[in-house]
Amino acid sequence: RVFKIASIPGDGIGTEITSAAIEVLQKLAFIEGKFSFEFNHFDWSSENYVKRGWYMPEDGMDQLKKNDAIYFGAVGWPNVPDHISLWGLILPIRNSLNQYVNVRPTRILRGITPPLAKCGPKDLDWVIVRENSEGEYAGHGGTTHGHSSHAVATEVSIFTRVGIERIMRFAFETAKSRPRRKLTMVTKSNAQRHGMVLWDSVFAEVAKEYPDVQWDKMLVDAMTVRMTLQPQTLDTIVATNLHADILSDLAAALSGSIGIAPSSNLDPTRQNPSMFEPIHGSAPDIAGKGIANPVGAFWSAAEMVRWLGMEEAADALMKAIENVTEAGIRTKDLHGSSDTKAVTGAVCKELESV
Name the residues that contact Mg ion, by CB under 5 A.
Answer: 245
User: Residue 245 binds what, of ligand NAI, Mg ion, none (CB under 5 to 8 Å, by partner type)?
Assistant: Mg ion
Q: Scanning residues 55 to 114, which ones bind ligand NAI (CB under 6 A)?
A: 74-76, 82, 86, 90
What does DSSP assign to residue 141?
A: E
Give the shortest CB-277-to-Mg ion separation in angstroms.
10
What does DSSP assign to residue 187?
A: E
CB 108 within 8 A of CB 255: yes
User: Residue 259 binds what, of ligand NAI, Mg ion, none (CB under 5 to 8 Å, by partner type)?
Assistant: ligand NAI
Give the shortest CB-348-to-ligand NAI separation in angstroms.
18
First to last CA, the chain: 22
Q: Scanning residues 153 to 172, which ones bind ligand NAI (CB under 6 A)?
A: none
The whole-angstrom distance between residue 261's C-alpha and the CA centroid of its chain comes to: 7
Stretch that binds ligand NAI, among 139-147, 276-284, 308-316, 317-325 (CB under 6 A): 276-284
- Select from 114, 231, 259, 273 the one that contacts ligand NAI (CB under 6 A): 259
Q: Scanning residues 284 to 303, which ones bind ligand NAI (CB under 6 A)?
A: 284-286, 292-293, 296
Angle CA 19–24–28, to nearest 5: 145
Give the shortest CB-258-to-Mg ion separation in angstroms.
9
**Residue 142, number of CB atoms within 10 A of its CB:** 9
Q: CA–CA distance from 36 to each of 4, 126, 142, 177, 287 (Å)? A: 9, 31, 47, 29, 30
Which CB sits closer to ligand NAI, 52 or 335? Answer: 335
Q: Does the footprint of ligand NAI cover residue 264 (CB under 6 A)?
A: no
Q: Does the footprint of ligand NAI cover residue 262 (CB under 6 A)?
A: no
Alpha carbon distance 299, 317 (integer Å): 8
Per-residue burial over 306-337, b if 16 or more Cβ lie within 10 Å, else e, is bbbebeebbebbbbbbbbbbeeebbbbbbebe
Give the shortest CB-67-to-ligand NAI separation in angstroms.
18
Which CB sits closer to ligand NAI, 95 or 282? Answer: 282
Q: Which residues contact 86 (CB under 8 A, 6 or more apart)?
A: 75, 76
Give the shortest CB-212-to-ligand NAI separation in angstroms.
35
- Do strands 152-158 and 135-144 pair parallel, antiparallel, or not at all (unpaired)? antiparallel
Which CB sits closer to Mg ion, 11 or 245? Answer: 245
CB 258 within 8 A of CB 294: no
User: Residue 185 binds what, of ligand NAI, Mg ion, none (CB under 5 to 8 Å, by partner type)?
Assistant: none
Give the shortest CB-334-to-ligand NAI separation in angstroms.
8
SS3 290: coil
Q: Does the footprint of ligand NAI cover residue 223 (CB under 6 A)?
A: no
Phi, psi of 207 (to 5 degrees): -55, -35
Give the shortest CB-17-to-ligand NAI separation in angstroms.
6
Which CB sits closer to Mg ion, 28 or 297? Answer: 297
Torsion of CA 185, 186, 189, 192, to 10 degrees: -140
User: Residue 6 binds what, of ligand NAI, Mg ion, none (CB under 5 to 8 Å, by partner type)?
Assistant: none
Give the shortest CB-249-to-Mg ion separation in angstroms.
6
Q: Could you tell me if residue 159 is left (phi over 0), alpha (psi between -120 and 50 degrees) or otherwise beta? A: beta
Which CB sits closer to ligand NAI, 287 or 305? Answer: 287
Give the shortest CB-201-to-ligand NAI separation in angstroms.
31
- Select from 258, 302, 314, 343 the one that contacts ligand NAI (CB under 6 A): 258
Binding site for ligand NAI (CB under 6 A): 13, 74-76, 82, 86, 90, 258-259, 277, 280-286, 292-293, 296, 331, 333
